[in-house]
Amino acid sequence: MSQTPSRPKKIWLNGKLVPPQDATVNVYDHGLLYGDGVFEGIRIYSGRILKCATHLARLYESAKAIRLVIPYSPAQLTAAMRDLIKANDRQNGYIRLCVTRGVGSLGLNPNTCETPSVFIIADGISLYPAEMYQNGMSVITASTIRNHPAALSPRIKSMNYLNNILAKIEAIDAGVPEAVMLNHLGYVAECTADNIFLVQDRKSGPVLRSPPLHAGALEGVTMNIVLGLAAKAGIPIERHDLTKHDLYVADEMFLTGTGAEVVPVTAVDGRSIGTGKPGKTTQKLIQAFRKLVAKNAPED
């Protein structure tokens, strides 16, 4: 499902399509200086913008939470994304839609920023090699925890990803592509860029388990798609606090994310999950997701 990244022909920047070399951000922009801004990562499948309306709703909710007024309407941003897709002749790939506080002074005061800056990139994406979707990946649990919810709500998709990056460095140092992040109470929150799911095989059949939003997870768009697919397939869903023990004794595990889609996990902290291979429920949900986006990806 992944596509090799290629340099886009155009970038949408504050209402104009410009060449990448001209798509510049001012060094006084508070998005650059302080991570003051919000963003969305969105997938394109066969020219359709997957869950476009849902992504934009989350973008505006994140902006509202940090008291940032986006200077374009959802309809205008939708049109901008479609124009950009057409300009780059891209039928499949990834959109990064960013809104910064804008150019201001060398100080934290956001009121010095007169106009927010908005830019959109449409490009290819390849987070993980194809064999990981077939054979699964290994992950670790990171010592770096998710932001405390009283400091920065995990429901806000902000440009401040430094704690996720530190956890990602731990994963890289351990020779694996991802890390599970715990919250301040020691419960499983999410991975550095993906939501996490466990499968527990019971006498009644497989049960899908995932951390609740209050544990510190972003409400993932792909996560919600998979929850819907599981419900449609008759797979029971449990959302409650999970510990590292729950990870270690799970029968299956997989991650979901806009870039990652649905990818199986077969080992955590050097411990095999289940049989050490992608399980039947994981494979079933991967196929259901791929079928959903193959020809008529929902844009609502």
Domain CATH code at residue 155: 3.20.10.10
Residues 50 and 135 in one domain: no
Residue finishing a domain among 123, 139, 161:
123
Same domain, yes or no: 151 and 212:
yes
For residues 173 and 192, membership in a common domain is answered with yes
The total number of structural domains in the chain stands at: 2
Q: Are residues 114 and 256 in the same domain?
A: no
In this model, does residue 3 exceed pLDDT 50? no
What are 130-149's pLDDT values in tens digits? 999 999 999 999 999 999 99
**Is 16 among the residues known to form the active site?**
no
Task: For residue range 25-61, list pLDDT tens digits in order.
Answer: 999 999 999 999 999 999 999 999 999 999 999 999 9
- Residue 190, domain member (yes or no): yes
Among 108, 123, 138, residue at a domain's last position: 123
The separation between the first and the last C-alpha atoms of the chain, rounded to the nearest angstrom, is 21
270 and 143 inside one domain = yes
Q: Which amino acid is at 52?
A: C
Using alpha carbons, select from 272, 211, 243 the residue that is nearest to residue 264: 272
pLDDT number for residue 1:
44
- 118 and 148 part of one domain: no
Task: List, as one string, the DSSP characters of 126-141.
Answer: --S-HHHHHH-EEEEE
Residue 5 resides in a domain: no
Give pLDDT, residue 4: 45
Please, how many CA atoms are within 13 Å of residue 73, restricted to the half-sphere of its CB?
3
Whether the per-residue pLDDT at 97 is higher than 80: the answer is yes
Tell whether 276 and 189 lie within a shared domain: yes
Report the C-alpha gap between 153 and 99 in whole angstroms: 18
Single out the catalytic residue among 10, 157, 284, 295: 157
Domain contains 46: yes
Q: Are residues 180 and 233 in the same domain?
A: yes
In CATH, what number is assigned to the domain containing residue 116?
3.30.470.10
Query: How does residue 114 score in pLDDT terms, banded at 50, 70 and 90?
Result: very high
State whether 158 and 236 are in the same domain.
Answer: yes
Q: 270-289 pLDDT, tens per residue?
A: 999 999 999 999 999 999 99
| Report field, pTM of the whole predicted structure over 0.75 | yes
Residue 113 shares a structural domain with residue 254: no
193 with 76, same domain: the answer is no
pLDDT range class, residue 293, cuts 50, 70, 90: very high
Q: Is residue 3 part of a domain?
A: no
175 located within any domain: yes
For residue range 225-279, list pLDDT tens digits in order: 999 999 999 999 999 999 999 999 999 999 999 999 999 999 999 999 999 999 9
Instruction: Give the dihedral sign, CA 31/34/35/37.
Output: negative
Provide the domain limits for residue 54: 11-123
Last residue of a domain, one of 97, 123, 149: 123
Distance from C-alpha of 81 to C-alpha of 121, rounded to nearest angstrom: 9
Helix (H, G, I), strand (E, B) or coil at 114: coil
Extract the tokens encoding 34: 């302080």
Q: Residue 127 pLDDT > 90, yes or no?
A: no
